[in-house]
Amino acid sequence: MNIYNVLDLALKHNGEYVLGSADLHTHACYFICGVLNPGEKGRPIKPGKGHEEIIFLVQGEVLLRRDTGTFSLKQGQAFYLKGEETYLMDNNGKDNAVYVISGGHSEGHMH
């Protein structure tokens, strides 16, 4: 069994780390950990073609923006995206915002 410190990896890799095929040697699923610094804006959240994701805010509060509106996501809340759906994430707070994303492939879209 391997244990991955994904929060440390995210901090070392520009605020986001994908624990996926390179580490796990599988394309079945992946896990992302991200940190948005205070005042950081415009981090894209987009699963991509053939992918589905659940995004969970572990710490902080963020704004999610796209042309259809702006939504507030608070600590402990989650939302679901599929395919090319895209939001931009902003941290207007004074502390880091930490999120995790659990993702996998849509039916019929395995690599």
CA atoms of 51 and 97, how far apart (whole Å): 24
pLDDT (0 to 100) of residue 108: 64
CA atoms of 109 and 73, how far apart (whole Å): 29
Q: Can you list the domains of the chain with their CATH numbers? A: 33-111 (2.60.120.10)
pLDDT (0 to 100) of residue 16: 96
pLDDT (0 to 100) of residue 89: 98
**What value does the mean pLDDT take over residues 62-68?**
96
pLDDT band at 15; cut points 50, 70, 90: very high
Percentage of residues of the chain with pLDDT beyond 70: 96
pLDDT band at 106; cut points 50, 70, 90: confident
For residues 97 and 35, the answer to whether their CB atoms sit within 8 Å is yes
